[in-house]
Amino acid sequence: MGTEINRGGIPGRGKALILGPALITGIALTGHALPALTTIAPLRRKLFPKLSGMSESCAVALTFDDGPDAKSTPLFLDRLDKFGWKATFFMLGSMAEKDPPLAREVLSRGHEIALHGYEHNNLLWKSPRATIEDIRKSLGTISEIVGKHPRFYRPPYGVFNAQALMTANDLGLTPILWTAWGRDWRAKATPQTVINDLVKGIRPGGTLLLHDSDCTSAKDSYFSALGALELLEQRTSARSLHIERLCDHFGD
């Protein structure tokens, strides 16, 4: 968990592609694990800026992974309401199944629902068939619960395999990672360390990653992300930067 490589559009038909169909096919033919190289942030930001969540928007996209979680997600929703922010929540199908009303509440409060897989497992260790089953199961589960087909997909740990990219393309999902993350999943994280790690993404067109649940992280680590939102508000206000959802970041 100590490095980005270990932790963590293709919009619907007729939209511009994040990677492009030819590149997706080439990756698939080259090897199952090759897309995992996109977890190397400097390489990803340089070669695949859109996959890194970089757009031409004048605002910053804010995203959360691993929820919804009854003990923590409501705290984030209230804090976002306090600042008047709307964000994108990458939900795990298994977590949404535990609390369907909370998943629907996230949507009803103006936030975007996105896909994070069904279980939080590294796709490098999944076969192509298991990868397809995980993505399809999570898509079916979350779509049924919230009544809406998610547009964006981010795999656990930010690690793609070739089959995940092909399946996302087939299902009209946009694969997306992040420009900067707060490493808020660590036991030693604090609001200040989180905001320090987010610095590269606090700029027009950047995408930030935090976690609204500790279900796959150190116990109570979500408090560091929650506290960092206050610091993020100070940083963005000082620079007159707006916070937005990914659907706004890349347009409809």
pLDDT on residue 6 = 34
pLDDT digits (tens, 9 = 90+) for 101-129: 999 999 999 999 999 999 999 998 899 99
pLDDT on residue 252 = 65
Q: State how far the alpha carbon of 1 is from the alpha carbons of 28, 58, 76, 104, 220, in Å.
A: 26, 32, 23, 30, 16
The residue annotated as part of the active site, out of 111, 116, 211, 249, is 211
What pLDDT band is residue 49 in, cutting at 50, 70 and 90?
confident
Average pLDDT, stretch 217-245?
97
The residue annotated as part of the active site, out of 65, 66, 69, 197, is 65
Residue 26 has pLDDT above 90, yes or no: no
Instruction: Give me the residue label for tokens 């994040």.
Output: 18
β partners of residue 152 = 174
Mean residue pLDDT across the chain: 87
4 vs 52: which has the higher pLDDT: 52
pLDDT on residue 95 = 98
Q: Which two tokens stand for residue 8?
A: 């963590």
- Total number of domains in the chain: 1
Residue 40 has pLDDT above 70, yes or no: no
Average pLDDT, stretch 2-8?
34
Q: What is the DSSP string of 187-251?
A: TT--HHHHHHHHGGG-STT-EEEEES--TTSSTTTHHHHHHHHHHHHHHHHHTTPPEE-HHHHH-
Q: State how far the alpha carbon of 61 is from the alpha carbons of 50, 65, 226, 252, in Å.
A: 12, 13, 16, 15
211 belongs to the catalytic site: yes
Spatial CA neighbour of 90 closest among 69, 60, 109? 69
218 within 8 A of 186, measured Cβ to Cβ: yes
pLDDT on residue 103 = 98
| CATH assignment at residue 110 | 3.20.20.370
CA distance 152 to 150: 6
pLDDT digits (tens, 9 = 90+) for 183-204: 999 999 999 999 999 998 999 9
Domain of residue 9: give its range.
4-250
pLDDT on residue 145 = 98
pLDDT on residue 217 = 95
pLDDT on residue 18 = 56
What pLDDT band is residue 17 in, cutting at 50, 70 and 90?
very low
pLDDT on residue 167 = 96
111 belongs to the catalytic site: no
